[in-house]
């Protein structure tokens, strides 16, 4: 029976591990390298590291930090944050990352996705679609930490990114971020049914049942989360964790 990838997403601020709710009020929760060691022991499928301040500050995720992750992590990992040049991607891959995650640049300069995919291969290029609902306009994708709207609905944007060569999409609900009340299954399903590349659900996971629903009803190929993997419960006591064997049906 096929088992979807279960992917901890670790948010970075000043090279510390933080967690947000609705992209706001980042709370420091520990040392990211300590988390890597624990996920090594728990045999996580893969990890994603996102520097949440990089785009706002006009820089990229620190390559030296990525190198340290590469020296410690026993699983594949992807990194994102402020990536805007092919040279940056090349350096991050040399530092050990398997994939890079593009967000703001995919909105500001969508043809960069095509150039990156042509240079490094689609399997290396992940586009993260941050999705938020606004009154009157409905669901739109957003850049720069959820501050700038693309003007596109998420399905249109997802199809465009596939056409431009993205090899995978992370679909993140800003409204669900940190809530631990379940994924936006309708959003995930709508995109999964329109693209052929893998879709990773992110935003809202608080239980294995939430993950199972996103996989079985939303047709997600991967199930990513932050709070679920770093909090003990909805009381938000910090405890790095990763589930053992889980059965999924589709």
User: Residue 249 domain-assigned?
Assistant: no
Three-state secondary structure along 118-174? HHHCHHHEEEEEEEEEECCCEEEEEECCCCEECCCCHHHHHHHHHHCCCCEEEEEEC
Q: What is the pLDDT of residue 1?
A: 52
Structural domain range at position 103:
5-230
User: Residue 239 domain-assigned?
Assistant: no
User: Residue 199 domain-assigned?
Assistant: yes
For the chain, the domain total comes to: 1
User: Residue 246 domain-assigned?
Assistant: no
Mean pLDDT of 150-179: 97
User: Residue 250 domain-assigned?
Assistant: no
User: Residue 237 domain-assigned?
Assistant: no
Structural tokens at position 144 = 């720069």
Q: What is the pLDDT of residue 235?
A: 65
Structural tokens at position 84 = 């805007």
Beta strands in the chain (DSSP E): 5-13, 16-21, 24-30, 47-51, 77-80, 99-102, 125-134, 138-143, 148-149, 168-173, 199-202, 222-225
| Cα gap 86→122, rounded to integer Å | 14
**What dihedral angle (degrees, nearest 10) is formed by the CA atoms of 143, 144, 146, 149?**
-40
Candidates 147, 146, 152; CA nearest to 164 is: 152
- Binned at pLDDT 50, 70 and 90, residue 40 comes out as very high
Structural tokens at position 18 = 């933080």
- Binned at pLDDT 50, 70 and 90, residue 134 comes out as confident
Cα dist. 124→5, 71, 168 in Å? 17, 19, 9
Which residue do the tokens 């990536």 mark?
83
Contact assessment for residue 154 and residue 177, using Cβ atoms and an 8 Å cutoff: no
Cα dist. 7→46, 220, 228 in Å? 6, 12, 10
Give the CATH number, domain containing residue 141.
3.20.20.70
Q: What is the pLDDT of residue 233?
A: 62
User: Residue 44 domain-assigned?
Assistant: yes
Which residues are identified as catalytic? 130
Cα dist. 111→5, 15, 56 in Å? 29, 30, 21
| Cα gap 111→115, rounded to integer Å | 6
Mean pLDDT score across all residues of the chain: 94
User: Residue 140 domain-assigned?
Assistant: yes
Render pLDDT for 176-194 as a digit per residue (tens, 0 to 9): 999 999 999 999 999 999 9
């Amino acid at each position: 029976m096929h088992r979807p990838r279960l992917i901890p997403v670790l948010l970075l601020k000043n090279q510390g591990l933080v967690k947000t709710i609705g992209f706001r009020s980042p709370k420091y929760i520990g040392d990211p390298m300590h988390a890597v060691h624990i996920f090594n022991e728990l045999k996580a499928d893969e990890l994603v590291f996102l520097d949440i301040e990089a785009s706002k500050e006009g820089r990229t995720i620190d390559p030296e930090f990525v190198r340290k992750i590469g020296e410690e992590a026993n699983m594949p990992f992807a990194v994102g944050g402020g990536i805007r040049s092919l040279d940056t991607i090349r350096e991050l891959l040399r530092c050990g990352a398997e994939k890079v995650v593009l967000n703001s640049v995919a909105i500001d300069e969508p043809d960069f996705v095509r150039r990156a995919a042509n240079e490094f291969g689609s399997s290396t290029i992940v586009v993260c679609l941050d999705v938020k609902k606004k009154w009157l306009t409905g669901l739109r994708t957003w850049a720069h930490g959820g501050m700038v709207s693309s003007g596109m609905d998420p399905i249109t944007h997802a199809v465009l990114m596939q056409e431009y060569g993205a090899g995978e999409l992370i679909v993140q609900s800003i409204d669900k971020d940190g809530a631990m009340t379940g994924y936006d299954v309708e959003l995930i399903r709508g995109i999964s049914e329109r693209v052929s590349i893998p879709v990773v659900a992110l935003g809202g996971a608080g239980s294995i049942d939430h993950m199972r629903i996103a996989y079985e009803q939303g047709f997600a190929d991967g199930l990513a989360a932050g709070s679920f993997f770093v909090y003990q419960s909805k009381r938000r006591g910090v405890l790095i964790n990763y589930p053992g064997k889980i059965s999924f049906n589709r």
